[in-house]
Amino acid sequence: MGESGTGRAAPGAPPAGVRPGSSRHSEAPDTGSLRSDMIGLLRRINATRAHLATIMSIQMAA
């Protein structure tokens, strides 16, 4: 719950799942066309997912 007990986050608090001080924030692509923007976003997500899969497999093997 937030500071006021209403279940809402405190003003200025990061969104759920975001650590304070995280440097993983990146801007969404803005190429001028929705199709190109979506392709760029999907490529970025796919690259992040591949990195996460590598880390998880190393952790599970240990």
**Dihedral sign computed on CA atoms, order 20, 21, 22, 23:** positive
Compute the distance between CA of residue 41 and CA of residue 50 in angstroms, rounded to an integer: 14
**pLDDT number for residue 23:** 54
pTM for the whole structure: 0.43
pLDDT tens sequence across 14-40: 555 555 555 555 677 788 899 999 999
Compute the distance between CA of residue 12 and CA of residue 14 in angstroms, rounded to an integer: 6
Compute the distance between CA of residue 43 and CA of residue 38 in angstroms, rounded to an integer: 8
Compute the distance between CA of residue 33 and CA of residue 41 in angstroms, rounded to an integer: 12
Please count the residues of the chain: 62
Give me 37's structure tokens.
């923007």
